[in-house]
């Protein structure tokens, strides 16, 4: 074979070999990509399945949590209502017992006062009367002339005396110390907050306020559940689009 033809033949073989190598490389690349795509597809399917299971679990858990919160709130409302009714009943019975006695309720008032203080610590009969009349009818106010810094006040009703006993603090610069002298109720009602009067009407008002707060909490819990479900639906839609 002539040298020129032999050279061309070798060049052709070299080209074929390079083409074969290139085809093999392309084939291997395609197979690798197919395997990667298949693995990615399986992974996406697994992720989607896991996400769906998690969404279902969250929905079920949120529903159970909402039911439990509502149950606890209903029980709390019932306990509070029973306590309010019990308190109102005890207070009414106490007032009835006190009204049957002939003793008018009297409170003993004390405050800081030096012996040589002509102003008597800032208190006088008129000042004490103005301070105490807001709680009800005051029958008498007797300021001690022998012992400065003390007085006795007589109320027309036990209720007025009790309101003054629980709420009155006197002058800010020289507060009063109040104690029962006569006519103290047999059953002591739970102490009220300063500035609040204990009454059946007040109890009912507090109960209504409490129920309003509880209903607001229930609405908040329901709204939280609605938002959870909305977020879950959006996640499902995003997953479906992808």
Average pLDDT (37-42) is 84
pLDDT over 90, % of the chain? 27
What backbone phi and psi angles, to 5 degrees, belong to 2?
-60, 150
CB within 8 Å of 170: residues ≥ 6 apart: 109, 111, 123, 131, 176
In 114-210, DSSP assigns E strands to 138-143, 150-155, 170-171, 174-175, 177-182
Separation in Å, CA 230 to CA 47, 129, 131, 221, 223: 20, 64, 59, 14, 10
109: helix, strand or coil: strand
The pLDDT-based confidence of 185 (bands split at 50, 70, 90) is confident
Sign of CA dihedral 76, 82, 88, 93: negative
Q: State the maximum Cα–Cα separation within the chain, in Å, rounded to a whole number.
A: 152
- CA dist 94 and 157 (Å) reads 12
Average pLDDT (102-124) is 90
The bridge status of strand 174-175 relative to strand 177-182 is unpaired
* pTM of the shown model: 0.40
Other beta carbons within 10 Å of 135: 21
List pLDDT tens digits, range 125-167.
999 999 999 999 999 999 988 888 999 999 999 999 999 999 9
Among 99-108, 170-179, 216-225, the minimum mean pLDDT is found in 216-225
List pLDDT tens digits, range 78-93.
888 888 777 766 655 5
Q: For the chain, how far is it from start to end, CA to CA, in angstroms?
A: 65
Average pLDDT (96-113) is 77
Pick from 56-60, 95-99, 201-205, 212-216 the range whose average pLDDT is largest.
56-60
Give the count of alpha carbons within 13 A of 99, CB side only.
9
């Amino acid at each position: 074979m002539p040298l020129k033809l032999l050279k061309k033949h070798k060049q052709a073989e070299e080209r074929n070999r390079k083409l074969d190598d290139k085809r093999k490389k392309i084939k291997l690349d395609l197979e690798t990509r197919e395997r990667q795509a298949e693995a990615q597809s399986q992974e996406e399917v697994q992720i989607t399945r896991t996400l769906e299971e998690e969404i279902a679990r969250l929905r079920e858990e949120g529903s159970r949590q909402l039911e439990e919160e509502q149950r606890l709130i209903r029980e709390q409302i019932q306990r509070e209502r029973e306590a309010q009714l019990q308190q109102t009943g005890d207070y009414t019975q106490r007032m009835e017992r006190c009204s049957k006695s002939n003793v008018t309720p009297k409170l003993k008032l004390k405050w800081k006062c030096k012996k040589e203080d002509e102003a008597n610590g800032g208190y006088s009969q008129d000042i004490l009367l103005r301070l105490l009349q807001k709680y009800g009818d005051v029958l008498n106010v007797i300021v001690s002339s022998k012992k400065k810094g003390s007085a006795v006040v007589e109320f027309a009703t036990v209720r007025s005396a009790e309101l003054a006993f629980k709420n009155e603090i006197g002058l800010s610069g020289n507060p009063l110390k109040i104690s029962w002298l006569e006519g103290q109720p047999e059953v002591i009602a739970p102490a009220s907050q300063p500035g609040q009067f204990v009454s059946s009407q007040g109890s009912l008002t507090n109960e209504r306020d409490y129920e309003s707060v509880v209903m607001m909490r229930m609405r908040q819990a329901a709204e939280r559940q609605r938002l959870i479900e909305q977020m879950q639906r959006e996640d499902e839609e995003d997953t479906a689009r992808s």
